Structure formats: structure tokens, C-alpha cells
């Protein structure tokens, strides 16, 4: 008699029981694992960028150091805000815009690059035993406040990194239209929060941006106006040359006429030396001239058909 399964006289079969592992929370992908978005127009990391304009012309060595620090992390960063407004003043030679005094550096980056920048800042702060900021605003080198602004396909209030980026003296800045759009949004926000000083500053900057946009259009139109004048001279010179040449009809008829003239010139005798000889030859062979004429007309008719 076989022992019952599980009785004292039998060996219990070994059963494999899988223990359910607790689900780990969704891990946020690291910056290196996320898709990268490149900003058009930015210089490649392999090329050294000269920051003498920021340090010498603007007289802002801290901003030049910040630009070099950002370049070591990513080249996909763009200046916006009052700093970009000041650079546009130098680009278009607008005195009032050149005199703008920025109080911080507003940097537009992709969400991926923002993670890289913040990770780099935390690492440096840990090495210096400095308290690590968790915010997107931090103090660079204990001298210049930096405000990171994330931009993506759904967040374009401060400009589109794929369309609104311009290069001024090797520095990426937002276009004038993008700056005006962001200043307007900041003005409305300051109005809602009753920030009178911020609101007044935005109004002044929007007026400067309007002047810069008008100046840019004026310079662009004056540059394009020179081209038609030069083209007009070229057209006039070409017209003078064409007046010296007889006009020809267009299309197949013109080609057929050219063919007929060419055939006639090729068949024409020499004016003086061979006049007598050619006439004698035609007298001896009158049918050959008629045959040549028929062949000529037949070739011309085939071309026209």
C-alpha cells in the first residue's frame, strides 16, 4: 500500500514557490539616457569659443566664466532676458539697450541639459562642502545669479530652441520676437502678483525691444534695397548689348530659320574667286540645285513637325 502524500512515512515533494518581489518605483531616467535635442547654430564642442566679447566689450568677466562653464557641460544653452537684450543693443548699435544693467543670467536649455547642469552644480557644491540648491535658480561662483528655464515642444513661452536662436559674437541669444513674447508674459505675471517694480521694468524693456525690432527691419530693408539697384544696372547693361543684336523669333520657327540660314551659308559660293566656277557648275547640273533645295525644305519641315 502506497503511503499517502504528506503522511509521516512519506517524503513530501519539493515544491518551488516563487516569492513576488515588491515593485520598485519608476526610476527617473538619467540625463545620458534621455533623447538629446540639439540647438541649431550652436558651435560644436570640439571648437573653442572666444568669449572676449563678454569679458572685454561687455566688461562682464563673470558672465564669460559662466559661458565657459556651461560650454563644458553642453553647448545647447541660450541667453534670454535682460542679458540678451543688452547683447542685441550691441549688435544693432542701440545706445539705450546697450546701457541695460542685467541683475542675473536667464538661460534657456532643454530639459535634458537642465538635468546635466544641475547635477554638475550639485557635484561641485558637495566637493566644496557648500549646501546644494535644489532649485533651478542658483548662484554661480558666488557672484552671478543664474535662472535655468526649460524649453520643449510644449513649453515655448521663453522661445523655441529649434527656431528662435540667433548668434551674436559667438553667443547664443533668443531672437527679438521671442524676447518680446517672453517679456510680455513676464509683465502679465508681474501684474497679477502686484510686483510693481518688475512690471515697470518689463514695460521699459518691451519699449526697447519694439525699437530694436523696428531698427532690425530698417537695416534689413536697406540692405535688400541695394540688391535691386545693382541688379538694375546689370539688366540695363544686358539691354544695351541686346539692342545691338537683331531680335529673333522664339520656338521651333526660330531654330528652323537658323537651320535654313546655316544651310544657305554653307552652300553659298565664294563671292569673288569662285563666282564664275559655281555658275558654270550649276549650268552643267541644274537638277542638283533643285535636289538640294528639296532636301533643305524636307529637313526643315521634319524639324517643325
Query: How crowded is residue 18: how many other Cβ atoms within 10 Å of its Cβ?
Result: 5
Question: Are 69 and 159 within one domain?
Answer: yes
Q: pTM for the whole thing?
A: 0.60
Instruction: State the DSSP H helix or E strand holding residue 166, giving kind and residue range, or none if neither.
Output: strand 165-168
Domain boundary among 201, 222, 243: 222
Interatomic CA distance for residues 54 and 5, integer angstroms: 86
Cα–Cα dist 121/106, whole Å: 16
Would you write out the chain's pLDDT as a tens digit for each of its 305 residues? Answer: 444 444 444 444 444 444 444 444 444 444 443 344 455 555 555 556 778 899 999 899 999 999 999 999 998 999 999 999 999 999 999 999 999 999 999 999 999 999 999 999 989 888 887 765 557 889 998 889 999 998 876 666 777 787 899 999 889 999 999 999 999 999 999 999 999 999 999 999 999 999 999 999 998 887 665 555 556 666 566 666 655 555 555 555 554 555 554 444 444 455 444 444 444 444 555 555 566 677 777 776 776 66
Pairing of strands 105-110, 77-80: antiparallel
State how far the alpha carbon of 9 is from the alpha carbons of 3, 4, 13, 121, 212, in Å: 7, 8, 13, 69, 97
- 256 and 218 part of one domain: no
CATH code of the domain in which 208 resides = 3.30.460
Q: Which domain holds residue 269?
A: 252-304
Same domain, 139 and 76: yes
Task: Count the domains in the chain.
Answer: 2
Q: Flag whether 234 is in a domain.
A: no
| Whether residues 267 and 129 fall in one domain | no
Report pLDDT digits (tens) over 139-157.
998 889 999 998 876 666 7
204 and 265 both lie in a single domain: no
Is 195 a member of any domain? yes
* 62 and 211 in a common domain: yes
For 129: left if phi > 0, alpha if psi spans -120 to 50, otherwise beta; the answer is left
Q: How far apart are CA 52 and CA 48, in angstroms?
A: 12
Does residue 9 fall inside a structural domain? Answer: no
Q: Are residues 210 and 268 in the same domain?
A: no
C-alpha grid cell for residue 54?
563678454
Strands 144-151 and 105-110: parallel
pLDDT of residue 228: 59
Amino acid at each position: 500500500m502506497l503511503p499517502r502524500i504528506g503522511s509521516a512515512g512519506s517524503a513530501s515533494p519539493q515544491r518551488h514557490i516563487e516569492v513576488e518581489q515588491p515593485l520598485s518605483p519608476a526610476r527617473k531616467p538619467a540625463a545620458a539616457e534621455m533623447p538629446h535635442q540639439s540647438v541649431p547654430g550652436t558651435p560644436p564642442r570640439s571648437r573653442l569659443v572666444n568669449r572676449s566679447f563678454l569679458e572685454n566689450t561687455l566688461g562682464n568677466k563673470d558672465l564669460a566664466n559662466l559661458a565657459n562653464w556651461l560650454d563644458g557641460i553642453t553647448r545647447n544653452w541660450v541667453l534670454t532676458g535682460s542679458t540678451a537684450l543688452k547683447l542685441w543693443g550691441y549688435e544693432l548699435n542701440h545706445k539705450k539697450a546697450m546701457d541695460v544693467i542685467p541683475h542675473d543670467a536667464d538661460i534657456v536649455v532643454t530639459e535634458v541639459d537642465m538635468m546635466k547642469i544641475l547635477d554638475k552644480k550639485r557635484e561641485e557644491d558637495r566637493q566644496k562642502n557648500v549646501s546644494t540648491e535644489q532649485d533651478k535658480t542658483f548662484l554661480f561662483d558666488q557672484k552671478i545669479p543664474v535662472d535655468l528655464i526649460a524649453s520643449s515642444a510644449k513649453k515655448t513661452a521663453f522661445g523655441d530652441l529649434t527656431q528662435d536662436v540667433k548668434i551674436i559674437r559667438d553667443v547664443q541669444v533668443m531672437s527679438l520676437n521671442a524676447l518680446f513674447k517672453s517679456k510680455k508674459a513676464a509683465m502679465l505675471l508681474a501684474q497679477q502678483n502686484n510686483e510693481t517694480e518688475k512690471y515697470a521694468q518689463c514695460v521699459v524693456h518691451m519699449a526697447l525691444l519694439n525699437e530694436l525690432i523696428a531698427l532690425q527691419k530698417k537695416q534689413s530693408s536697406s540692405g535688400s534695397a541695394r540688391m535691386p539697384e545693382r541688379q538694375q544696372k546689370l539688366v540695363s547693361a544686358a539691354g544695351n548689348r541686346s539692342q545691338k543684336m537683331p531680335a529673333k523669333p522664339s520656338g521651333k520657327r526660330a531654330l528652323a530659320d537658323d537651320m535654313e540660314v546655316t544651310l544657305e551659308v554653307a552652300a553659298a559660293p565664294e563671292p569673288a574667286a569662285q563666282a564664275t566656277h559655281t555658275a558654270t557648275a550649276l549650268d552643267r547640273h541644274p537638277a542638283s540645285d533643285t535636289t538640294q533645295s528639296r532636301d533643305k525644305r524636307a529637313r526643315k519641315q521634319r524639324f517643325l513637325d
